């Protein structure tokens, strides 16, 4: 089983003060660091309709709660996290809800 983590937060002061080009470069560096720790960053961006100004989506085979145990570099403050289970696909069998 894999897990998806959707994390909303406010950009760290370091990230916020960067230009869009510099921020993209910093997020690529962060993505590489996260992947070394077993976190595949699927996407990141700026959400609409919420008070937070950054969202990052990860996928990992690590167990539930691992995000709170692993110490990835801080790119946001006041984060909220949604966790979803991603069932393994079996040949010829549709994923069950």
* Domain spans in the chain, listed from the N-terminal domain onward: 2-86
pLDDT at 96: 58
Whether pLDDT at 93 is above 90: no
**What's the pLDDT tens digit per position in 39-53?**
999 999 998 888 899
This prediction has a pTM of 0.81
Give the helix/strand (H/E) hosting 32.
Answer: helix 20-36
Query: Is 3.40.50.300 the CATH number for 2-86?
Result: no
Q: What's the average model confidence in pLDDT over 64-78?
A: 80
Whether pLDDT at 22 is above 80: yes
Mean per-residue pLDDT over the chain, rounded? 87
Tell me which residue of 68, 43, 69 sits closest to 56, measured CA to CA: 43
Q: What's the average model confidence in pLDDT over 11-30?
A: 94
């Amino acid at each position: 089983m894999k897990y998806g983590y959707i994390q909303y937060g406010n950009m760290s002061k370091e990230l916020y003060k960067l230009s869009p080009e510099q921020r993209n470069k910093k997020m690529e560096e962060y993505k590489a660091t996260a992947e070394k720790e077993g976190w595949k960053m699927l996407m990141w961006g700026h959400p609409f309709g919420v008070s937070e100004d950054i969202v990052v989506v990860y996928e990992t085979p690590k167990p539930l709660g691992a995000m709170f145990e692993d110490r990835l570099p801080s790119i946001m403050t006041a984060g909220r996290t949604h966790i979803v289970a991603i069932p393994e696909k079996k040949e010829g069998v549709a994923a069950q809800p």
